[in-house]
Amino acid sequence: MTSQTITAAASGTFKLGDLTVNRIGFGAMRLPQHGEAFADDAVPRDRDQAIRVLRRAAELGVNHIDTAA
């Protein structure tokens, strides 16, 4: 059995203004898990892990990160 990594590009693309983005995005609103996620001063429980997650998403081709509440 072989291991295959599927990237965000496999999901197809769409236009967001003048940018072409992959259909698979990343909803980052829940990364801050310490305290109230919707608070202005919300921070991740583990900052290094949150950074690793975001970097891995980018490595996999995610080029739309939604930070809206």
Give the model confidence (pLDDT) of 15-50 as tens digits: 989 999 999 888 887 777 665 666 777 778 888 998
Residue 38 lies in a domain: yes
Note whether 41 and 60 are within 8 A (CB).
no
Distances (CA, A) of 13 to 23, 33, 40, 61: 5, 30, 32, 11
State in Å, rounded, how far the first CA of the chain is from the last one. 41
Would 3 be classed as within a structural domain? no
Does residue 59 carry a pLDDT above 90? Answer: yes
Decide if 56 is inside a domain. yes
Strand partners, 27: 66
Domain count within the chain: 1
Q: CA–CA separation, 38 vs 68, rounded Å?
A: 10
pLDDT-derived band at 5 (thresholds 50, 70, 90) equals confident
